[in-house]
Amino acid sequence: MNLKKIVNSNFIKTIFAFLVFGGSILSINAKGLDPIDYVDPNIGTAHCRWFFYTPAAVPFGMAKLAPSTDAHLGNKSGWQAVGYDFRHHSIEGFANFHEFQVGGVVIAPSIGELKTVPGELDNPNQGYRSRFEKSDELARPGYYSVLLKDYVVKAELTATKRVGFHRYTFPETEQAHILFDIGNKQGESGEVKDAYMIYTADNRIEGYVITSPVYVNKYQKGADVRMFFSAQINKKPESYGGFRQDSIKAFQNEIKGVGAGMYFTFSTVADEAIEIKVGLSYTSIDNARNNLISEATDVDFDLALERATKTWSDYLGRIKVEGGKEEDKMKFYTGLFHALLGRGLASDVTGAYPKNDGGVGQIELDENNEPIHQHYNTDAIWGAFWNLTQLWAVAYPEYFSDWIQSQLLVYKDAGWLGDGIACSKYVSGVGTNFVSLAIASAYNCGIRDFDVDLGYEAALKNEIGWQGRIEGAGKTDLKQFVEKGYVPFEDRFGMGTSEEGSGFAASHTLEYSFSSYAVAQFAKQLGKTSDYEKLSALSKGWKLIYDSKTNLIRPKDTGGNFISEFNPLEPWRGFQEGNAVQYTFYVPHDIEELVETIGADTFNNRLDSIFIESRKNIFGGGKEVDAFSGLKTLYNHGNQPNLHISWLFNFSGKPYLSQKWVRAICNEFYGTEGIHGYGFGQDEDQGQLGAWYVMSAMGLFDAKGLTEINPEFQIGSPLFDKITIKLNRDYYEGRTFTIKTKNNSSTNDYIQSIELNGEIVNTNFIPFSTITNGGQMIIELGNTP
């Protein structure tokens, strides 16, 4: 077996494919790098979430293929890092499904002795897993490849929206195996309830796996997640069989139950590639087969790769940055890649989709017999109004619209909005629900091609509807907020939330106040005066738990008294994933009043001091590799509750401090390495931290989350010399909005002047509509405020 020959042969094929369809290799030499060439999916892959590392996918796709290093271990609590870890050195297989609480359908190649268990990291020899070298690994948007050293097998992955493509290049052997390890837990999927596979006479492999994810079990007990597949291999095996763990039965063409899997054995010549196409679905085997036929008929691996690369180039190319540091471009486009990767398709080509009750629904079709929108899986939208929704609104409004219509499907089917959904099952995650805020903000931005009356009905119910509220809809303590104006805290509530109150009462009060404000603006625009007045009153709930003695937000008990033994840096006691110091700034809708209440000088001095001190911890948890490493600090960029804080000086008379600290966070919290990417192994939830970098690096951000009737962006100092946003003409009149920066350098943090469409402006705010109408903004920077 000639290892060097196999490596060279496959890389030559891959490079040739890129040369043929455009561009990357030739254009690098002739014109410089394209956006796709700056993306490094391996950034931040130490201690990353299950859905984070899926390079072989298209934007917002269903098929998300990736290598796994420890996925079979599962995920005890449902949210921890699992799947692929940059620090690991062996791969156990390649799963086709990667979403929040969703994972499975593993394919793994091997040669020699047939092994049917994955084996463990500390003993790769005991299973079918294989060692690999980082130097033999290549990941880019839409493509992944690696040399499995133990077998000298080259593995390659790519995808269309609903079809995964695998190519395994074998050495000369009579024992080339391809395993479909279907019936075992994967990543966040939870325990397997059932699985089934059949190998048909026409060389098709089909089946399903049914799992019980932790969060589905928590928020919708008894429900499950179902994944279906229909696969084709381009070569007939010489032998095959079924297995369950290490129990093997030759020539078994059908197997059912927990642990079910099948193997296929081939005789191969040197450098022979075997290709597999896997149609995926969440509704049925028939629909998986139909997705395969619709998207992959007459499509081989190279053509799928060409199309995936073109799609990524188009999506990433909607925002073009020029000048500035090459390292910053890598951070920018990798962040944009992650923002476009998460929250993928759950509906089929036909518009069939998995309903909340376990049945199959049908999205309405247009005159061309195409679904009028798609359905999506999604992690919670918690905190996404400071990153993802702003990015969607500016550059991907068609997805924002689709996402809202997808959420409304669940509302129509089950009666409540779901902050996070896995195959339409409720997976709230943090026990809150910000979907109503996102719907309102989309409406503010002019994205209104959804059922607005239904959207408002759902949003209003989410803010004030506590009667019969189900746990999956979050906010089970809403009755207290609606009746008292705040949510009470007692130590006896622990980490729970109920109609009586919550262990996260203070943060819930702040969150409900913010979303009440957002839906109040929605109501005002629709002429719902009484709703507007009620919601506006509720939006002031934060004032009820503001402690003027400490100038901090402080939980109150059921009797209306501030809690005793109060430690402002203590997380989890009244605050979800944060503490009082961090959450006191969580009044984005009323930030001007918060500044006035605290006092502008006190506010500025405190916030500036927080950043001075937090810089020592790299604006998070330092170099501790853990999602929650920054929860006890003054500021934690590695989690959602803090993501707007650095922009708040724009509201307190010192915008230059926002310019300074936002740049510092971009430069120091974000990295370009496997371990130092998004902090050090911190909580990158489906592109939120990446999207924050994208918006901040452009110098555009709204601390109010686009919740005002006429939303505005605060203007910061961009990291690039020129930024061009290609606007979607189906939603916005303008074709492009360009930001040019004069005197841009690593030492020039501060805005000296702003010119908008030829006129000097004396404000650090720009209307959202000004950007979407198209035009040009010129920002001059300097090294003094």
**Which residues are registered as beta bridge partners of 179?**
108, 263
**Residue 733 pLDDT grade (very low, low, confident, very high; cuts 50, 70, 90):** confident
In the numeric block, the tokens 């928590």 are attached to 218
Helix (H, G, I), strand (E, B) or coil at 259: coil
pLDDT above 70: residue 3: no
pLDDT above 80: residue 30: no
Q: How far is CA 742 from CA 701, 718, 721, 739, in A?
A: 20, 10, 7, 10
d(CA 504, CA 431): 9
Please count the CA atoms within 13 angstroms of the CA of 94 that sit on its side-chain side: 33
Q: What is the pLDDT of residues 199-258, one digit of tens each?
A: 999 999 999 999 999 999 999 999 999 999 999 999 999 999 999 999 999 999 999 999
Q: Beta 736-742 vs 722-726: how paired, if at all?
A: antiparallel
SS (H, E, C) 269-291: CCCEEEEEEEEEECCCHHHHHHH
| CB-CB contact of 94 with 136 (8 Å) | no
pTM for this entry: 0.96
Q: What is the mean pLDDT of residues 588-603?
A: 98
pLDDT above 80: residue 429: no
**Residue 685 pLDDT grade (very low, low, confident, very high; cuts 50, 70, 90):** confident
Q: What is the pLDDT of residues 179-198, one digit of tens each?
A: 999 999 999 999 999 999 99
As separate numbers, helices (DSSP H) first and strands (DSSP E) second, the chain gives 19, 37
